[in-house]
Structure 1
Amino acid sequence: MQQRSKSTSRGQWGLIGAAYAFLIIMMGTTLPTPLYPIYSEEFNLSPLVITIIYAVYAGGVIFGLLVFGQLSDRIGRRYVLLPGVILSIISALVFLFATNLTLLLIGRIISGLSAGLFTSTATATIVNLAPDDKKNQASTIASSVNMLGLGCGPLVCGILAEYLPYPTRLIFIVNIVTLVIAFIAIWLMPEPVKDRQSFRIQVQKLSVPAEMRSTFINAVIPVFVGFSMLGLMTAISPNFLGEILNMNNKAIVGVTVFLVFCASTVGQLLFKQKSDFHVLRLGSMTLIVGVALVAVSLILHSYILLLVGAMVSGLGQAFSFRAGLSTVNSAAPDDQRAEITSTFFTIAYVAISIPIVGIGLLELGLNVQWAGVVFSIIVVLLAVVSLLLLLRQGHQSTSE
């Protein structure tokens, strides 16, 4: 009995450690957001170059997911998470000493690789370490930690950069300290994968077991829409606030982006008694309203309306993300969970990068305001398509 109690306690602390490390890693990926106006001025970077910096990060994430996403199913979670923390520390060091565009690009690629290693593996780890009767709650914890970490990056960086000295240096020193603690937490975490196999790198195909393919598709489409919204808000917020509204306070930029992810985190705690299918529909409907408000705010130059639209959109993204991830995790076989969630997050990160790259290209002919309006309309249309597909699925289920 005492041995079982110690094992349970160690598992609980391992779960807390994995969640903390997940939060810190994701926080590190969005830390530079309020700093891009500074980098643009210091290194004379055009909007297109800033877009390339965003794009190489997304490429690093997708590469990490496809090449290493299934590896933790074979060799164990810890041995993928630890390199993920090390890569994040290296990325922070590169940014700490960055003096040119090349180092910014290298830092973002490494940061993307870190997120690629961590995203699906940490999610699977949290689910593995949770008690059997808490697996659905574990999915919610994982997705909430993911979103909260992404939101805390711009918030913490914006505040430190605006009110303390060394705006492009201090935040990365703080980040490195938190990452060292994350490394220790993962090192001490109990290893959930007991039946380990030999180390073998295998590029993952974007495929899902046939028996759950229909479930996966219906779950991932609303998630694609939700992450497209996150990419939209990340892309337009810094430049729209600075160029159109003349709001150059980096803390305000950080708070604005944080509120989107904060709403996403809070939204994942709502409607827990509803089925995943109903929450997915609610997510699509909420995204339609929220992103439409963002489009109107850009046209009217209204910061308040932008905030409202951002938070409503964040709620819609949360509903879609939580229900989609829960649906996929519930249906996935234990020995393929990391591989399947890698596919899930690959699609999500493709979605988050499309508006960032697209708006950067549109800014060559339009300003950030109208580039944002165009992509807001596209995201709204995608959300409408997602809702129609879910309604058709519900009608078919009722007919059967």
Structure 2
Amino acid sequence: MTSVLSRRNGMAITATTFAFAVTMMGTTLPTPLYSIYAAKLALSPLTVTALFAVYAIGVVATLSLFGRLSDEIGRRPVLLVAVACALLSAVLFLLPPSLPVLVIARILSGLGAGLMSGTGTAAVIDLFAPERKATAGTVAIAVNAGGLATGTLLSGVLADLVADSLVVPYAVHLVLTLVAATALWTLTPRTVLNGKFRIRPHRLRVPVELRGAFTRGVLATGAGFAVAGVLTAVGALFLVRSLHLTSHTVAGFLVFLAFAGMAIGQLLGKGIAARTALPLGCAGTVVAAGFLAWALSATQLLPLLVAAVIVGMSSGLCLNAGIASTVEQAPSAHRGEISSSFFAGLYSMLAIPSIGVGVLVVLTDLRTAGLVFTGVVAVLALVIGITERATVRR
């Protein structure tokens, strides 16, 4: 009987993590294609960054409205809705491109990612045994980052290999979402609906004893997310306009490095105490900002790639430490709420800097805007790292 339950639980974990990865994959599929959309629809850098920010704002809004929903009605129905949003987004992207269609598709993608980020993390932790919470948190973060990394690389490679570069990546994703929905429906335990479906603003209610760790974790990880967000929003435009590189694979690979580095960073951080991992991650973000500034000022590709790797690994360390010291410590009844609050903070820091860089690009140029941004990120990461070390000493 125990082996049967263990096998069923293993299948549920597989179905949940696959759906998690596929949903997050859809959010980065357009990244290497932004230069194509910009040329085809005559989009300015500000419009491109706003298009990216719409997705992040959709994530934050979803987490705010539905952050505790899975704690009330169960994980399974929320996961299914998240995959459905990803599926609808893929369908819209398959339509002839226009700015309104892209905006709606990105909003749907943000809804799916918002529902999946909080609920998926809580669901994976729930499915593991209590003594394996640390492993569960690591798996959840790896699946999240892995999905983001795979989406951008897959899209870039396909865009260079096939003629229909704005069709094939989304067609592949559509098939994957159908498989993910089927797996969730058939392999995850059915939910007994004890709560009521309610749409209401979600206050960041974090237990008093976790608030300090929560704030430092969000700000430290958010600094790295801000860099990844700007790379995602304008990286392809920088490669085309400044470096004159038209390969979509390179554009996809750049963002892939950031999110793959995030997965590696959280794996490396598994054996490091949170009080050590967070300052180390902040130091890494400062170094990454330096490489990014070098790439922008010298217009070189290599330091840009190095910056992507370092900021990814640093964010992974901070994210692992933040999840370990907040979500993993929360009781199951509030885990979805705290997980959603954590990711709402991260995606806020993903969206706002991207819009700011877009505005600066209009007022100055891409290089100047990037240099101003890297300076702000470096200062923020340095302050948070010093604060964490001071807190540990106390």
Normalised by the length of structure 1, the TM-score is: 0.95
Q: What's the C-alpha RMSD, in Å, of the aligned pairs?
A: 1.4
Return the match for 1:305 from 296, 303, 309: 303
Q: Distance in 1 between matches of 2:269 and 2:113?
A: 29
Cα offset, 1:189, TM superposition: 3.4
| Map 1:203-214 → 2, pairs under 5 A | 203-214=201-212
Q: Which residue of 1 aligns with 2:31?
A: 33
**Cα pair distance change 1:290/1:192, threshold 3 Å:** farther
Secondary structure of the residue aligned to 2:38 is: helix
SS in structure 2 of the partner of residue 363 of structure 1: helix
1:351 paired residue number:
349
Match of 1:96 in 2: 94
Superposed displacement of residue 51, structure 1:
2.0
Do the aligned residues in 2 keep the contact of 1:60 with 1:109 (CA within 8 Å)? yes
Alpha-carbon distance between aligned partners in 2 of 1:293 and 1:354, rounded to the nearest angstrom: 22
Q: Is the CA contact (8 Å cut-off) linking 1:291 and 1:310 kept in structure 2?
A: no
Kept in 2, the 8 Å contact 1:37–1:238? The answer is yes
Query: SS at the partner of 2:363?
Result: coil
Taking a change above 3 Å as real, the CA distance of residues 193 and 328 of structure 1, as seen in their structure-2 partners, is farther
Partner in structure 2 of residue 136 of structure 1:
134
Residue-by-residue CA offset, 1:299-333 (whole Å, 9 max, x unaligned)? 11111111112111111111001111111122212
Residue type matched to 2:340 in 1? S
Report SS of the residue matched to 2:369. Answer: helix
User: Structure 2 counterpart of 1:47, which letter?
Assistant: P
Match of 1:86 among 84, 87, 96: 84
- Going from structure 1 to structure 2, the CA distance change for 1:145 and 1:367 (only over 3 Å counts) comes to same
Could you tell which deviates more after superposition, 252-261 or 201-210?
Answer: 201-210
* Shift, 1:193, TM fit: 6.3
Amino acid at match of 1:134: R
Q: Secondary structure at the match of 1:272?
A: helix
CA contact (8 A) 2:269 2:321 kept: no
Alignment match of 1:272 (pick from 262, 270, 277): 270
Partner deviation per Cα, 1:252-301 (whole Å, 9 max, x = no partner): 10111101111111111114322111111110111111121111111111
Distance of aligned partners of 1:159 and 1:82 in 2 relative to their CA distance in 1, 3 Å threshold = same
- In structure 2, runs of 5+ residues without a counterpart are none
- State how far apart, in whole Å, the 2-side matches of 1:98 and 1:127 are: 40
Alignment check: 8 A CA contact 1:93 1:172 kept: yes
Amino acid at match of 1:136: A
Whole-Å separation in 2 of the counterparts to 1:34 and 1:271: 29
Partner of residue 213, structure 2: 215
1:192 positional shift: 8.2
Match of 1:238 in 2: 236
State the match for 1:105 in structure 2. 103
Maintained 8 Å contact 1:222/1:284 = yes
Q: How far 1:212 moved relative to its partner?
A: 2.3
Partner residue of 2:326 out of 319, 325, 328: 328
Corresponding residue of 2:181: 183
Q: Percent identity?
A: 36
2:369: which partner in 1? 371
Q: How far has the Cα of 1:195 moved from its partner?
A: 7.7
- Aligned residue for 1:323, secondary structure, equals helix
Task: Report if aligned partners of 1:235, 1:359 keep a CA contact under 8 Å in 2.
Answer: no
Question: Where do 5+ consecutive residues of structure 1 fail to align?
Answer: none
Q: Distance in 2 between matches of 1:37 and 1:271?
A: 35
Amino acid of the structure 1 residue aligned with 2:132:
K
**Quick check: 109-118 or 232-241, which moved more?**
232-241
Shift of 1:207: 2.5
- 1:131 Cα offset (Å): 1.6
Which segment drifts farther, 270-279 or 341-350? Answer: 270-279
Which segment is superposed worse, 215-224 or 240-249?
215-224
Match of 2:62 in 1: 64
Contact 1:223 1:321 in 2 (8 A): yes
1:194 positional shift? 6.1
> Aligned partner of 2:255: which letter?
V
Secondary structure, counterpart of 2:106 in structure 1: helix
